[in-house]
Amino acid sequence: MVLNLIVLGAPGAGKGTQAERFARRRGIPKISTGDILREAVHTGTEIGRRAKAVMDRGELVSDDVIVGIVRERLDQRDAKAGFVLDGFPRTVVQAKALDEMVNGRGPLVVVDFAVPEAELVRRLASRLICEKCGTNADRGVDAADPEGCKRCGGRLVQRADDNVDVVRERLEVYHRQSEPLVDYYRGRPTFRTIDGAQSPDRVAADFVAAVEAAAGGLTAAEGARH
Residues assigned a catalytic role: 15, 90, 127, 159, 170
Closest CA to 115 of 175, 53, 68: 175
DSSP state string for 178-212: ITHHHHHHHTSTTEEEEETTS-HHHHHHHHHHHHH
- Dihedral sign, Cα of residue 150, residue 153, residue 157, residue 160: negative
Closest CA to 131 of 151, 112, 116: 151
Residue 115 CB neighbour total at 10 angstroms? 21
Q: Would you tell me the crossing angle of helices 92-101 and 63-74 to the nearest 10 degrees?
A: 20
- 40 backbone φψ class: left, alpha, beta (φ>0; ψ -120 to 50): alpha
- Dihedral sign, Cα of residue 183, residue 187, residue 188, residue 189: positive
Taking CA atoms, 19 is separated from 6, 8, 63, 191, in Å, by 9, 10, 22, 16
Euclidean distance between CA atoms 25 and 105, whole angstroms = 21
